[in-house]
Structure 1
Amino acid sequence: MPGGNQRQQQQISLLTFEEKMESTTSDYNYPYYDKDEKPVGPCIRDSDNLLGAQLSTIYYFMFLFSLFGNGLVLVIIHRFEKLTTVTNILLLNLVVSSLIFMSSLPFLGVYKQLSYWIFGEVMCKIVGSVYYLGFYSSVLFLTLLTFDRYLGVVYCLHASQVRNQRYALLSCAVVWLVSGLACIPQMILHRTFTHNMTNKTFCQEHPSNLKFVDADKLRDSTFYLQLFLFLLFPLIVIVYCYVRIAITIMSSKVVTKFKTVRLIFIIVLLFFICWTPFNVVQLIPENESCDEKKKRGYALQVTRDIAYIYFWISPIFYTFVGKKFQSYFRQLLVKCFPGLKKHISVSQVSRTSMSTKSTPNVELS
């Protein structure tokens, strides 16, 4: 990263929470150099930063839609389902983690559009930590849901002794603990600072003046932790589990077993479709060429917003995939709006009373 003796330019380059491998000591663009170490000129990043600011306007709609959709899922689980079953407990925690993540988007939207931070030091650390807490916990809960389906389908009889309420609560506690501990580096590194030349305040990973902490090693460890624990490990576990599930279903030729894993499979598949492009772009090493930096900036802006789509579109898949959820939703509509009873066919679904000891089914499938 360029030192303080290099000429600083007056063009601000806004960095968001995900761009961990970018420069963090200043938001200024520096002159870049050719092969002979001769200054070529400043790398102006107006275009990709402007694109990011324009795209961030949809953050507010994402937040509101996610708040409504995930809130509806919480209401239906609370009203029609029992939280004594493993899958319902895991789904509840997954919805909560999605809401936690989405709560950071309004702040990020304002930050990207203004190009400076207005919410103060404490909120800077909270928003940075909440962002990663929601992301990390969502990945682990999706992995846990898949593993639970794996136990319920592949080891149906033996797993019934393990898959109980205590197992679910303990698993959720471990996920929240691991996710919380993984957010500590973000809490340490994220801070506000005011640049002397513009007198604007920024909120990002700013390692300077950190005592007793090697900021570079802390940032590197965070990057590899996210890569291995929150991307590669879940991907390997999920692929393995669904391969075994597919083999079991095909050998048993029982259609109902397919229905028990359909909802979870689509939710997991949606997550990785949305998040994989962004993670791949992050893994691409940054080229010294200004054009390459701009291209990478464009890719980060677009793939990041694609990744966010998961958290506000996932409630729709509960509605279209889960038949029991559809029935509960129609009942709720008719109860709130009695006039719709003429137009909506409502089939009463009994409140589930079976524990996970007696059934491996997905309660909202």
Structure 2
Amino acid sequence: METTTFDYSDEPYTPVAPCSGDGDNNLGAQLSVLYYFMFVFSLLGNGLVLVIILRFERLNTATNILLLNLVLSSLIFMSSLPFVGVYMQLSNWIFGKVMCKVVGSIYYLGFYSSVLFLTLLAFDRHLAVVYSLGTSRVRGRGYAVVSCAVVWLVSGLACIRPMILHNTFINNFERKTLCDEYPGDLPGINVEQLRTSGFYLQLFLFLIFPLAVIIYCYIRITITVMSSKIVTKFKTVRLIFIIVFLFFMCWTPFNIVLLMHDEATDCQEQQKLGYALQITRNIAYIYFCISPVFYTFVGKKFQNYFRQLLVKRFPILKRHISVSQPSRNYMSTKSTPNEL
């Protein structure tokens, strides 16, 4: 959502031209068409993952519970994109004050929780591979439920700031309704302190901490796999590299540009960062859209489940698709390096 500087005083004043954000706003309006495609793809892809988990897997293992919550957080995040897309194309919020706060809140709730669930999945696979912890108490259902509850609680608390600051207000220069963080003062609230705390919260809790945990976990996983005698270890290491590389390339630039944009004071700098923000935002959204599908279908087990669904729905494909029938006891067991 765009941030532009306006004069909101009720007193008579001589209009002063704000720092124009027309260029990056127009770019954002053009790119926002992708939001509808991402929403549909996420709905179909994450819906498929949800069907496979609920139909073939048992929700008594940490990995399945974390995957389920990652899917839900991704769907929550993606549900806000159609509203944001319409807003960016019209440059006018038409859904009312309540929906402004609701959409802003679920946007950040899905965003924050997706980051933390991706971090938890990396840590869970680290436990499974490095310490060979399968369905032990450490990675049992209780551990997963408590971890997910903590993620939702932390993400919900982090949404208090946007819930308070997000509001509808009139652009005095174009007389359009905006839905964004209110740039003025709010009665009884130290807005500056709230914005500063939000900046550092996002910097440390939703950028530095997840990156540090994910890098550490996948380095340990790579070392463990390379030191083993697994025949497919090089394929596994390549897959680990792709996971980490995609996470870095899609998620980190957006967060860095977002933090820089919030702190920019020079008009020219704001405009340049505005263009960068529009582009990196879409790259990050694409990652959050595909991450549950990617994390699920890299495993041979889930690929087999998908083939089973295809064969059952379209029997004519049975002669072209090979499907194995794993036993129920095999399902939801310890993660092996080859199933990363």
Determine if the alignment matches structure 1 residue 74 to structure 2 residue 33.
no
- Contact between 2:134 and 2:335, CA under 8 Å: does it hold in 1? no
| Counterpart for residue 308 of structure 1 | 285
Aligned counterpart, 1:97 = 73
Indicate if the aligned counterparts of 1:328 and 1:349 stay in contact, CA closer than 8 A: no
State yes or no: 1:60 paired with 2:36: yes
Q: Cα gap change, 1:316/1:90 in structure 2, threshold over 3 Å: closer, same or farther?
A: closer
1:245-284 equivalent positions in 2, closer than 5 A: 245-255=221-231, 266-267=242-243, 269-284=245-260
Aligned-partner residue type, residue 324 of structure 1: K
Tell me the equivalent position of 1:223: 199
State the TM-score, normalized to the length of structure 2: 0.87
Would you tell me which structure has more helix in proportion to its own residues? 2
CA distance in 2, matches of 1:363, 1:119: 47
Structure 1 distance, partners of 2:6, 2:77, is 23
Greater mean alpha carbon deviation, residues 99-108 or residues 147-156: 147-156
> What is the CA-CA distance between 1:321 and the residue it aligns to?
2.0
- For residue 240 of structure 1, what is the aligned residue in structure 2? 216
User: Which segment drifts farther, 86-95 or 281-290?
Assistant: 281-290
Q: Does the aligned pair in 1 maintain the 2:62–2:140 contact within 8 Å?
A: yes
Which residue of structure 2 lines up, in the alignment, with residue 168 of structure 1? 144
Is 1:131 the counterpart of 2:107? The answer is: yes
Cα pair 2:298 2:339 within 8 Å, conserved:
no
CA apart distance, 1:162: 1.2
Range with bigger deviation, 124-133 or 252-261: 252-261
Q: After the TM superposition, which of the residue ranges 175-184 and 266-275 deviates more from structure 2?
A: 266-275
Instruction: Tell me, yes or no, if the aligned pair for 2:66 and 2:148 is still in contact at 8 Å.
Output: yes
C-alpha separation in 2, matches of 1:229 and 1:130? 18
Amino acid in the other structure paired with 1:148: D
Q: Which residue of structure 2 aligns with residue 182 of structure 1?
A: 158
Post-superposition shift, 1:196?
A: 4.9
Matches within 5 A, 1:308-327: 308-318=285-295, 321-327=298-304
Q: How far did 1:261 drift?
A: 8.6
Q: Is residue 2:305 matched to residue 1:328?
A: yes
Q: What letter matches 2:283 in structure 1?
A: I
Q: 1:77 deviation in Å?
A: 0.7
Residue 135 of structure 1, CA deviation: 0.9
The 1:108–1:363 alpha-carbon spacing in structure 2 relative to 1, beyond 3 Å, is farther
Residues 1:214 and 2:190 are matched in the alignment: yes
State how 1:4-43 maps to structure 2 within 5 Å: 15-16=1-2, 23=5, 43=19
Deviates more, 1:105-114 or 1:330-339: 330-339
Per-residue CA deviations over 1:174-200 (Å, capped at 9, x if unaligned) read 111111011011110001123455442
Paired AA for residue 278 in structure 1: F
> How far off is 1:157 after superposition?
5.4
TM-superposed CA distance for 1:164, in Å, is 0.6
Moved more, 345-354 or 114-123: 345-354
Unaligned 5+ segments in structure 2 are 9-14
What is the rounded CA distance, in whole Å, between the counterparts of 1:196 and 1:254 in structure 2? 65
* Cα distance in 2 between the residues matched to 1:267 and 1:148: 15
Q: Distance in 2 between matches of 1:80 and 1:262?
A: 28
In 1, Cα distance between the equivalents of 2:172 and 2:46? 43
> How far apart are residue 286 of structure 1 and its match?
2.1
Corresponding residue number in structure 2 for 1:115:
91
Shift of 1:311: 2.3
Q: 1:221 to 1:340 in 2, by over 3 A?
A: same
The alpha-carbon deviation at position 361 of structure 1 amounts to 3.9
- Where in structure 1 are there 5+ consecutive unaligned residues? 1-14, 32-40
CA contact 1:133–1:179 (8 Å) conserved in 2: yes
- The separation in 1 between residues aligned to 2:329 and 2:176, in whole angstroms, is 56
Once the two structures are superposed, what CA deviation does each residue of 1:240-274 show, in whole Å capped at 9, x if it has no partner?
22222222223333357888898777555423321
* Cα shift readout 1:56-86 (whole Å, capped 9, x = no counterpart): 0111011001000000000011111111111
Q: Report the CA distance shift for 1:137/1:250 in structure 2 as closer, same or farther (over 3 A).
A: same
Q: Residue 129 of structure 2 aligns to which amino acid in structure 1?
A: V
